[in-house]
C-alpha cells in the first residue's frame, strides 16, 4: 500500500502540528512518520508528515485541495507526494563512469525507487554501460558555440520525457543559468571535494598540493552559483603523504558513489527541504 | 524560560500525535520540538514532545494530572520533565580518571545541565580531582565480604541526596542486581570496547590479541546482565599493527570521554527512550 | 618498468635492515619503498622492501637464489614478488552480488591489478554479471551429501587454472578444512559484521536485535576457524533506531564493497604479512 | 633506556637507506623503527630512523659528528633527537580553555612527553587552570599599539626559558612574521575548521551559514600565511540541520582537543617532516 508524504515550510506559529495531524486523524489516516524542525534564526517551521492511504477517507486526487485551507491559513510552501510514484530520472555523465555505474546497479537492486529514463553525455564512453543496463543513451557534443542550442534540445527532450530529477553523475560541463532555472532543486550534483574547500576544477590536485589529511565529497542541488547550491550530503576518508593524486582519485571515487547515492535516495524519499540555500533532511 | 518535555511509549494506533499536539495547542503552548518513531516489529509508538511553558494555560504542577486522561486512553508509559530541572548526579570512578575529569570540565563549561553532587570511589586516587572541582568525595573500600553492606550504605546516601543519575565513569566494581534495581535506567556506564565485542574484563588486551583494525567504546544503561544493557552511544577509532596495548588504551580513552559525555548529555536532555533492551534517541 | 617486492618475517636481531638494503644497493637497485615493524611481544621483525628492477644487476630469475644466504642467516620466512605479475583470481559468490559487481568494475577500471579467471557459485544468479563482464562462470550445486566431491572438483579446477587468490565475495557456503588447507592465506572473505561481534549467520538481524549504534564489515583471510582468521580490514557506519534490518543490510553492503576491495588491493600489492593470526599491513 | 631518532630529507638516490642502516649496524645499534618515503614529484627522500642507544658504540654527544660525512655525501637536511629529551613547551591561550585543559591533563597522565614551562595569555581567565596544574602563568595584554613591544618581551622570555615548542591552544591573536621567524616549525596551531574551508575568523558561524553536513578541525605549523601552514592532522564530526552554532562549537571543541593533542604528540615523538608546505608523518 502507498503512503502520502506532505512536506511543508512556513513561518512558525502555534497550532501547525496540531492542525495537520488532526487533519490526518479525522480523515482516518495512520501516521507512519512525522518529524519537524524549527529554525530559530528565521522563525521558520518545517515538517514532513507521512501517513498510510489505506482506510484514508479522502481520495488521493482530492487530498491536495482538502489540505489547501490549512496550507493557506499557515502560509505554507508545500509538496504532496506518494510513495508509489517512481520519479523519472535522467543521468548526465562525462568520462568518469563510477557514479553512473553505481546508480544503475542500485536501481537494479531496487535500492533507489525511480525510473531511469535516459543517460545524457558529452562523450560516447558511457554508451557501453547504458547497453549493459538497457537504458536509452543520448550523446550531445556540447561546444562553446553550440551550447545554447544544445541545452535547448536537452531541455526539450527532458520535458517531453517528463523527467522529475536530473542527476549529474560527474558531468564535467557547466550548465547555464537558463537550463538550471527549468529544474529548480531538481538537479543533484556530486562534487569531488569537501565543499567549500576546493571549489571548481581539479580538486584532487588541489588537495594533494595542499597536503590535507582528509578528503571529501559533496552532493548538492545545483543553483546558478557553481558548487554553491544547498549541500545534501558529505563524507570523508583519510589520506596520507603516501597517497599520490591517483590514490586520492581512487579513494574519492568511493566517496562520490556513496555520497551521491545517499542524496538521490533522500530526494526520492522526499526527505529533503530546502531553505536559505541549506537543507533540512528528515531521517 | 523553561520548557516541558513529555516522552511516551505506547501501542501504536491512530490519533496519538493529533491528541497530544492538540492538548498543547489548546492550552496555548508552543511546540519547540516533536519527534516520533514507530517500531513496526512490536507496533510500538514513541514520542518526544517539548513545548514552551511561557503562556501555557496549565500550571506546571498541574500538567501531569491534566495529561493523565490522554495517557490512560492510549495506555502510555510516560515521563514529564522540565528543562530548568537540573538532575542531581553521582559519579562513580576507580583509578582511571579521564572520564571523571572530562565530565567535571564539561559541567564546569555548562555543557552538561546537571548538579554534580558527589564522587564515589573504591580508591582514594580521585580525591585530588574532587578537590580541583570542589565536589564531595566518598571512598568506599568494597571487598567481597562487605559488598552487600557497603552497597546498602551507598544506596542510603544516594537516596538521601536525591540522586537522579549515577554515572559509572570507569568504575571497576560490578554492582549487584539489588543495587541496580534501585535505579532502573538511571545508571549509565562506559565500556571500553565496541560492544558486543570484547565483553568483560581487559578489552584492550583482547582487541590487541585479536588484531582488530578498529577499536570502540560503548555507553549503555546498566541492567543486571553485565555489559548487556541498552546501548546509548558508540564510537570508534582506527588502530594498526603499530599500536601497542598502551596505544590502544590511550586511543580508547579519547573515545570513552566522548561516548560517555554524549550519553550523559542525551539523558539529561530527556532524549532517550528505552524499550526491548534498546534505545530510541531523538536528536 | 617492474619492481621486486621482498617481504619477510624473522626473529629480530641487529643488522637485518642493513644487510637487506645493502644487498639491493650493491646490486645497483633503487629502493622505492621500505617499511619495517617489530613486534616487541614476540620479538619478531617484519619488512617489506620494494626496489626497481631497472638497472638491477641480478636477473629476475636469479634474485631468489642470490638472496638465499641472507634469508638463511636471519632465519627469514620470505616471499618474492614482482609488480608486473598479475595474480590469477577466482571469485566465489552466492546470491548477493554487490561485492562481485564491485570487484569486477574495479578490475575493469584497472584499480585491482589481477587477472579475473572465473566466478564460482552455488546459484545460477551470478551468471548474468559474469556475462556482463565476460568472465567464465561455473555453478556447483553443493549439498551436504556431495560436498566433499564437489570441493575436490573445485580444487582440481582451481589448481589447473593456476589460481593465486580466491575471493569469497559473500559466498554463503562453509569451506571444509581440507579445501582451506590447499590455499593457505590465499582465500579472502568478507564478513558482514564488525568481527568479533556477531560471528556466524545473520549478523544484520543480530545487530538490529542488539540495538547497536554502529555496524561494520570485516575482511579476513580464511582459516579453519569460521570467521576467526587474520583480520585485514574493517570499516563502520552509523545506524539509528530508525534503521530497519533492510536498511542495515543496504548500509552494510556499501561497507562490504569497500572493505573487501581494500583487502584485495593490499593483498595484490603484497602489503600484508600474517603472523600469530594477525596481519601487519604496510601502507 | 633512550633511543636516538634521526630524521632526514634529501634528493633521492641509490644507497641512502643502506648507508644509514649500515652506520647504525656497524656501531652495534639495534634499529627500533625505520620508515621512509619518496616523493616522486620532487624526487625527495625522507626517512625516520630510531635505534636503541644501549650498546651503541658511539657516545651520544659524538653521534652528530660521526654521521656528518654521510649527511654531507647525500646532501641531507637532518635532525638528531633523543627519546629521553623532554622538549620545553609554552602554551598560548585566550578565553577558550578546553584545549589548554586537555593538554595539561594529558601531560599529567604522562601521555605527552614534554615539560610544560609556562602559559601565556592575553586574558587573565586561564590563570585558574594554571594554578590547578601548578604552571607559571604570564599575561600579556596585547594591543595594536604595543604589539611589537609585547612580542619582543615574549620572544625574550621564551628564549630565556629555552622553549622548544609553542602550542597555540586557541590563541586568538595573530602573531607577527617577526615572531614566527624566531620559531620555524616550532609553533603548532589548532584551527577550528576543516582547512582550507573557512579560513580566518568565525568558522563555526561560517559552517552554520553554509549548511555543511560535516565540520572539522585542523592542526598545523604556523607560517607567515595565516591558516596556511603545513597541515599536521585533521578530523571531522557529522552535524545536521538541528545543530545550532552553539552545538557546532561544542562538537568542534571535542575535535580541537583530539586534533591538537595528536599533532603535539607526533611533534614530540619526532614523527613529522616538513617539506613543500606539507608534512610527512611517520606512524
- Least Cα separation, residue A147 to chain D (angstroms): 31
Is C147's pLDDT higher than 90?
A: yes
> Which pLDDT tens digit goes with each residue over C33-49?
999 999 988 999 999 99
Q: How many helices (H) and strands (E) does chain B have?
A: 8, 13
The domain locations on chain C are 3-82, 88-281
Taking CA atoms, what residue in D is nearest to C43? D32
**CA separation for the pair B252, B248 (Å, rounded):** 6
- How many CB atoms are located within 10 Å of the residue C243 CB? 19
> Which pLDDT tens digit goes with each residue over A154-181?
999 999 999 999 999 999 999 999 999 9
Residues of D in contact with B242 (CB under 8 A): 283
pLDDT tens track of chain D, all 283 residues? 799 999 999 999 999 999 999 999 999 999 999 999 999 889 999 999 999 999 999 999 999 999 999 999 999 999 999 999 999 999 999 999 999 999 999 999 999 999 999 999 999 999 999 998 999 999 999 999 999 999 999 999 999 999 999 999 999 999 999 999 999 999 999 999 999 999 988 999 999 999 999 999 999 999 998 899 999 999 999 999 999 999 999 999 999 999 999 999 999 999 999 999 999 999 8
Name which CATH class applies to C3-82.
alpha beta
The residues of A that are catalytic are 227
Whether D194 sits inside 8 A of A196 (CB atoms) is no
Q: pLDDT confidence of C172, banded at 50, 70, 90? A: very high
> Which pLDDT tens digit goes with each residue over B98-116?
999 999 999 999 999 999 9
Interfacial residues of C (vs A; Cβ cutoff 8 Å) = 98, 101, 105, 109, 111, 132, 240, 242, 250, 254, 258, 283
All 3 cell numbers of residue A281?
A: 533532511
Tell me which chains share at least 3 CB pairs under 8 Å with chain B.
A, C, D
**CA separation for the pair D47, C24 (Å, rounded):** 17
> Which pLDDT tens digit goes with each residue over B219-262?
999 999 889 999 999 999 999 999 999 999 999 999 999 999 99
Taking CA atoms, what residue in D is nearest to B131? D132
Supply the pTM of this predicted model. 0.96
**CA separation for the pair D107, D104 (Å, rounded):** 5
Whether D33 sits inside 8 A of C35 (CB atoms) is no
- How many CB atoms are located within 10 Å of the residue D278 CB? 17
pLDDT computed for residue B226 by the predictor: 83
All 3 cell numbers of residue C247?
A: 536498511
State the pairing for strand pair C272-275/B165-168. Answer: unpaired
Q: pLDDT confidence of C264, banded at 50, 70, 90? A: very high
pLDDT computed for residue A226 by the predictor: 83
> Which pLDDT tens digit goes with each residue over A196-236?
999 988 999 999 999 999 999 999 999 998 889 999 999 99
Q: What is the mean pLDDT of residues A255-260?
A: 98
Question: Which one of D14, D17, D28 has the shortest CB-CB distance to C14?
Answer: D28
Q: What is the mean pLDDT of residues A87-97?
A: 97
Can you name the CATH fold of C88-281?
A: Rossmann fold (3.40.50)
Average pLDDT in chain A: 96
**CA separation for the pair A166, A183 (Å, rounded):** 8
- Least Cα separation, residue D221 to chain C (angstroms): 25
Taking CA atoms, what residue in B is nearest to C242? B37
Q: Which of A205, A208, A213, A281 to mutate to test binding with chain D, by most D CBs within 10 Å of its CB?
A: A213
Q: pLDDT confidence of A1, banded at 50, 70, 90? A: confident
| Helices of type H across C78-214 | 98-108, 127-132, 147-160, 177-181, 203-210
> Which pLDDT tens digit goes with each residue over C109-126?
999 999 999 999 999 999
**CA separation for the pair A140, A160 (Å, rounded):** 17
Contacts of A282 (CB under 8 A, 6+ apart): A33, A35, A37, A48, A271, A273
> Which pLDDT tens digit goes with each residue over B119-170?
999 999 999 999 989 999 999 999 999 999 999 999 999 999 999 999 999 9
Whether C22 sits inside 8 A of D22 (CB atoms) is yes
Q: pLDDT confidence of C1, banded at 50, 70, 90? A: confident
**HEC readout, chain C:** CCEEEEEEEEECCCCHHHHHHHHHHHCCCEEEEEEEEEECCCCEEEEEEEEECCCCCCCHHHHHHHHHHHHHHCCCEEEEEECCCCCEEEEEECCCCHHHHHHHHHHHCCCCCCEEEEEEECCHHHHHHHHHCCCEEEECCCCHHHHHHHHHHHHHHHHHCCCCEEEECCCCCCCCHHHHHCCCCCEEEEECCCCCCCCCCCHHHHHHHHCCCEEEEEEEECCCCCCCCCEEEEEEEECCCCCCHHHHHHHHHHHHHHHHHHHHHHHHCCCEEEECCEEEECC
Task: Please answer whether residues B38 and B12 qualify as being in contact, where contact means their C-beta atoms are separated by less than 8 angstroms.
Answer: yes
The dihedrals phi and psi of C214, each to the nearest 5 degrees, come to -145, 135
SS3 content of chain A, % helix, strand, coil (to 5): 35, 30, 35
Residues of D in contact with B132 (CB under 8 A): 132
pLDDT computed for residue D252 by the predictor: 97
Q: How many helices (H) and strands (E) does chain D have?
A: 8, 13
Q: What is the mean pLDDT of residues B50-63?
A: 96
D227 vs B91: which has the higher pLDDT: B91
Task: Please answer whether residues B237 and B206 qualify as being in contact, where contact means their C-beta atoms are separated by less than 8 angstroms.
Answer: no
Q: Using DSSP, state whether C218 is helix, strand or coil.
A: strand
pLDDT computed for residue C255 by the predictor: 97
CB pairs under 8 A between A and B: 54
Whether A32 sits inside 8 A of B38 (CB atoms) is yes
Q: Which of B227, B243, B247, B254 is catalytic?
A: B227
Question: Which one of C132, C242, C283 has the shortest CB-CB distance to A283?
Answer: C242
Q: Which residues pair with D280 in a beta bridge?
A: D273
Interfacial residues of B (vs D; Cβ cutoff 8 Å) = 98, 101, 105, 109, 111, 132, 240, 242, 250, 254, 258, 283
C-alpha dist (Å) from residue B13 to B16, B50, B282? 7, 21, 20
Residues of C in contact with A258 (CB under 8 A): 254
Is C196's pLDDT higher than 90?
A: yes
Task: Please answer whether residues D51 and D25 qualify as being in contact, where contact means their C-beta atoms are separated by less than 8 angstroms.
Answer: no
pLDDT computed for residue B1 by the predictor: 79
CB pairs under 8 A between B and D: 15
ipTM of the predicted assembly exceeds 0.90: yes
Whether B283 sits inside 8 A of D132 (CB atoms) is no
Whether C241 sits inside 8 A of B198 (CB atoms) is no
> Which pLDDT tens digit goes with each residue over A6-20?
999 999 999 999 999
Tell me which chains share at least 3 CB pairs under 8 Å with chain D.
A, B, C
| Helices of type H across chain B | 16-26, 63-73, 98-108, 127-132, 147-160, 177-181, 203-210, 245-268
The residues of D that are catalytic are 227
Element holding C55 (H helix, E strand) = none
Share of chain C above pLDDT 90, in %: 96
pLDDT computed for residue A283 by the predictor: 87
Is residue C254 part of the annotated active site? The answer reads no
Interfacial residues of B (vs C; Cβ cutoff 8 Å) = 37, 39-40, 194-198, 210-214, 216, 230-236, 240-242, 244, 276-281
Share of chain C above pLDDT 70, in %: 100
Q: pLDDT confidence of C283, banded at 50, 70, 90? A: confident
pLDDT computed for residue C236 by the predictor: 97
Amino acid at each position: 500500500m502507498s503512503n502520502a508524504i506532505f512536506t511543508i515550510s512556513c513561518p512558525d506559529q502555534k497550532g501547525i502540528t496540531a492542525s495537520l495531524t488532526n487533519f490526518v486523524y479525522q480523515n482516518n489516516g495512520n501516521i507512519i512518520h512525522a518529524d519537524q524542525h524549527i529554525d530559530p534564526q528565521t522563525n521558520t517551521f518545517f515538517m514532513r508528515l507521512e501517513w498510510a492511504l489505506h482506510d484514508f477517507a479522502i481520495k488521493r486526487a482530492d487530498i491536495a485541495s482538502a489540505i489547501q485551507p490549512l496550507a493557506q491559513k499557515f502560509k505554507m510552501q508545500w509538496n504532496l507526494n506518494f510513495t508509489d510514484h517512481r520519479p523519472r530520472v535522467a543521468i548526465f555523465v562525462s568520462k568518469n563512469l563510477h557514479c553512473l555505474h553505481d546508480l544503475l546497479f542500485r536501481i537494479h537492486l531496487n535500492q533507489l525507487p525511480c525510473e531511469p529514463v535516459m543517460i545524457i553525455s558529452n562523450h560516447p564512453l558511457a554508451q557501453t554501460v547504458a547497453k549493459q543496463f538497457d537504458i536509452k543513451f543520448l550523446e550531445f557534443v556540447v561546444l562553446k558555440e553550440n551550447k545554447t542550442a544544445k541545452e535547448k534540445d536537452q531541455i526539450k527532450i527532458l520535458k517531453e520525457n517528463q523527467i522529475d530529477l536530473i542527476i549529474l553523475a560527474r558531468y564535467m560541463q557547466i550548465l547555464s543559468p537558463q537550463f538550471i532555472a527549468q529544474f529548480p532543486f531538481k538537479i543533484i550534483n556530486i562534487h569531488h571535494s569537501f565543499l567549500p574547500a576546493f571549489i571548481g576544477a581539479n580538486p584532487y590536485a588541489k588537495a594533494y598540493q595542499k597536503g590535507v589529511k582528509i578528503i571529501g565529497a559533496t552532493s548538492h542541488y545545483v543553483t546558478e552559483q557553481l558548487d554553491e547550491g544547498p549541500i545534501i550530503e558529505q563524507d570523508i576518508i583519510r589520506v596520507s603523504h603516501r597517497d599520490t593524486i591517483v590514490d586520492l582519485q581512487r579513494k574519492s571515487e568511493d566517496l562520490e558513489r556513496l555520497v551521491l547515492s545517499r542524496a538521490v535516495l533522500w530526494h526520492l524519499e522526499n526527505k529533503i527541504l530546502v531553505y536559505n540555500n541549506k537543507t533540512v533532511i528528515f531521517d
